[in-house]
């Protein structure tokens, strides 16, 4: 088997339609409401999210924690606040997840349930528009005194939930609540008013969504103002200046060149910067984001697409400090990597961003939820001594609620459209409808990804325009045919920024077949990553593999690979269906499974990087 020298650190929104507002993007995503996923790999996960993950979140919020009771108490103006000061955000993210699920899976009872929650939110809102149960129940006189108490973070998640629920149901009660909170913030902060730096970014990208929905420029300008407040020594937490490194507050954001601080906050900041830059020229944000992307993917990203080190406050250590047992790789941070790389690709139209998005999606994100959809990882290490297990919930439950809202929005990342082109970014079985050159178009994709490399796109209506097919970085051979005839590069076909570009008039019934060769490959880390020296990881297609003690109970400690290791793979129905790998070395055979599927059976050791014997 060919060894691939993998410079680990060198590879390496849910955004709304802009409704006519001009952006600088290379293309716009096709919203997931226009994409019906019918896929062997993804459909069960979306169904699990609707049938199990969302109910788990609702049960925890209503019955096992005090999150909904906080709103009830705030409405009455009495009672204690239960939990952490930012727990409101988990409730809002659950509403957002329900809204996305309702778009493709209408459920009148679930919708009525959310209407009851929204009534409680509205009742908890103060007359001036302020809403935050922590300060309502612990002392409104203390609101807006601590930049790290997540008031704007919670407001941002409420706003995203409100927009999603409005789009799903047409009901604007929550949108009204959210806008009143936004107006309260804009009355309090801004040019000539109080200055403020949100301790946890999120409101910035939510405000851009509100601008996209309403066309009201003041929301975009407020997001821009909040971004420009960073890096001027304004940050206050617990009554004293905060550590600016942790909060991405060292320099103005347009001058950022290296990532630092909390991983999830950084991802949301970069998403907000990309969104603002797509509407406002001259911010210089994209120059910063280009450098930051290089820095993240070259120096701070794990082979799973995860980011963050445990002993650095859920954030970043020195370049190339990527420990395996102490990897943090928070599920929320992997979701943030998807959101950020999606925006970078929309801006640049370059497939390398989708390569990272896909790596984070298939490894870092879906590892964060069990195969049943009922248990979760907050932290996703690349090695375990057997003491790291999925849980039903967490005191800080940002990850379960984030998964709940992310999974049903998967369709956002599959297709895009520009003035005259359909972009295919991910190979996921689905039906899509969109408008191109003022014509309604429908197409259908069938695929066996990520297990096999063949995908077929069938046009169900004519389309006059260009088709752009992403060439995945993990494949060494990518073949394309149209109606059975192999494509040869020339006048009507070329390669551009990681895409095969086909120009022609497409007829109803035209079939485009792509074959991305999938092989088992060995991955070698950058030698500056000390923990991975003398080791290899295993990749097949977009999936990173790991060894679990449950599959190798008698010789887990003896697992090693070498140039003479022989490999075989087969599809197995266990673990909800996987391609299992067998590695035979020195007379012993080891079993490897996709990383996302680990810790779904008996507890035990796990490792991604394995000793290498020359």
Query: Which residues fall within 8 angstroms of residue 155, CB to CB, at 6 or more apart?
Result: 131, 132, 178, 181, 182, 185, 203, 206
DSSP 8-state code for residue 613: -
For the record, the structure tokens of 201 come out as 């970014």
Among 512, 438, 516, CA closest to 475: 516
Among 292, 255, 251, 289, CA closest to 272: 289
Distance of CA 312 to the CA centre of its chain: 21
Among 115, 208, 90, CA closest to 168: 115
Burial of 507 (0-12, 13-18, 19+ CB in 10 A): exposed
Q: Torsion over CA of 342, 343, 344 and 350, rounded to 10 degrees?
A: 50
Among 144, 165, 36, CA closest to 95: 165
Query: Which residues fall within 8 angstroms of residue 237, CB to CB, at 6 or more apart?
Result: 146, 147, 148, 199
Q: Are strands 520-523 and 3-4 parallel, antiparallel or unpaired?
A: parallel
DSSP 8-state code for residue 487: P
DSSP 8-state code for residue 130: -
DSSP 3-state of 85: coil
For the record, the structure tokens of 515 come out as 């074959």
Angle between helix axes 173-188 and 151-169 (nearest 10 degrees) is 150
Q: Are 510 and 465 in contact (CB under 8 A)?
A: no
d(CA 350, CA 446): 24
Q: Are 510 and 557 in contact (CB under 8 A)?
A: no
d(CA 140, CA 581): 58
For the record, the structure tokens of 283 come out as 């911010």
Q: Is the peptide bond before 80 cis (omega within 30 degrees of 0)?
A: no
For the record, the structure tokens of 105 come out as 């899976």
Q: Locate the DSSP E strands across 437-477.
A: 439-447, 454-459, 463-470
Phi, psi of 249 (to 5 degrees): -130, 20
End-to-end Cα distance, the chain: 14
Query: Which residues fall within 8 angstroms of residue 71, CB to CB, at 6 or more apart?
Result: 88, 91, 117, 120, 121, 123, 124, 133
Distance of CA 612 to the CA centre of its chain: 32
Query: Which ranges in 39-172 belong to alpha helices (H)?
Result: 43-48, 54-59, 67-76, 88-104, 108-124, 133-138, 151-169
Q: Which residues are catalytic?
A: 314, 398
Q: Are 336 and 292 in contact (CB under 8 A)?
A: no
d(CA 43, CA 443): 18
């Amino acid at each position: 088997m060919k060894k691939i020298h993998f410079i680990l650190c060198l590879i390496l929104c849910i955004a709304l339609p802009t409704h006519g507002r001009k952006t600088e993007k290379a293309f716009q995503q096709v919203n997931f409401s226009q994409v019906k996923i019918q896929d062997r790999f993804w459909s069960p996960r979306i169904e699990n999210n609707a049938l199990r993950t969302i109910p788990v979140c609702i049960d925890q919020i209503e019955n096992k924690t005090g999150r909904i009771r906080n709103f009830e108490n705030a409405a009455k103006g009495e009672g204690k606040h239960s939990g952490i000061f930012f727990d409101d955000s988990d409730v809002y993210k659950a509403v957002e997840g329900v809204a996305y699920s309702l778009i493709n899976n209408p459920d009148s009872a679930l919708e009525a349930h959310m209407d009851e929650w929204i009534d409680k939110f509205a009742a908890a809102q103060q007359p001036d528009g302020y809403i935050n149960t922590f300060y309502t129940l612990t002392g409104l006189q203390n609101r807006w005194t601590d930049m790290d108490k997540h008031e704007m973070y919670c407001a941002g998640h409420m706003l995203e939930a409100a927009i999603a629920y409005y789009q799903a149901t047409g009901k604007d009660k929550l949108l009204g609540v959210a806008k009143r909170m936004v107006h309260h913030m804009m009355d309090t902060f801004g040019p000539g008013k109080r200055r403020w730096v949100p301790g946890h970014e999120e409101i910035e990208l939510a405000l851009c969504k509100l601008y996209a929905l309403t066309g009201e420029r003041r929301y975009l300008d407020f997001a821009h103002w909040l971004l420009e407040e960073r890096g001027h020594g304004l940050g206050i937490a617990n009554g004293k200046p905060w550590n600016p490194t942790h909060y991405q507050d060292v320099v103005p954001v347009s001058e950022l060149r290296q990532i630092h601080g909390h991983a999830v906050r950084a991802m949301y900041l970069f998403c907000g910067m990309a969104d603002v830059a797509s509407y406002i020229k001259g911010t210089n944000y994209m120059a910063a984001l280009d450098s930051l992307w290089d820095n993240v993917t070259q120096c701070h990203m794990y082979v799973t697409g995860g980011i963050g080190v445990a002993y650095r406050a859920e954030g970043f250590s020195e370049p190339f400090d990527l420990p395996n047992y102490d990897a943090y790789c928070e599920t929320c941070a992997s979701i943030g990597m998807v959101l950020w790389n999606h925006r970078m690709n929309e801006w640049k139209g370059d497939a390398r961003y989708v390569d990272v998005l896909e790596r984070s999606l298939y490894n870092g994100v879906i590892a964060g939820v069990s195969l049943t959809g009922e248990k979760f990882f907050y932290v996703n290490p690349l090695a375990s001594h057997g003491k790291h297990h999925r849980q039903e919930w967490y005191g800080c439950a940002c990850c379960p609620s984030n998964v709940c809202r992310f999974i049903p929005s998967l369709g956002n990342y599959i297709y895009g459209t520009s003035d005259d082109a359909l972009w295919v970014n991910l190979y996921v079985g689905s039906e899509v409808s969109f408008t191109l050159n003022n014509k309604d178009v429908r197409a259908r994709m069938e695929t066996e990804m990520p297990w096999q490399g063949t995908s077929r796109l069938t046009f169900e209506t004519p389309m006059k325009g260009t088709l752009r097919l992403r060439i995945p970085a993990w494949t060494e051979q990518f073949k394309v045919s149209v109606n059975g005839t192999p494509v040869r590069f020339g006048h009507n076909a070329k390669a551009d920024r990681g895409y095969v570009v086909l120009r022609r008039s497409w007829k109803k019934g035209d079939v485009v077949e792509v074959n991305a060769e999938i092989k088992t490959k060995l991955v070698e880390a950058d030698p500056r990553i000390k923990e991975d020296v003398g080791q290899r990881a295993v990749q097949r297609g977009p999936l990173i593999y790991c060894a679990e003690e449950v599959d190798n109970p008698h010789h887990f400690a003896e697992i090693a690979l070498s140039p003479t290791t022989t490999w075989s793979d087969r599809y197995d129905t266990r673990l909800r269906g996987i391609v299992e790998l067998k590695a035979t070395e020195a007379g012993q055979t080891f079993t490897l499974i996709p990383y996302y599927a680990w810790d779904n059976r008996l507890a035990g050791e796990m490792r991604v990087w394995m000793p290498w014997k020359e």
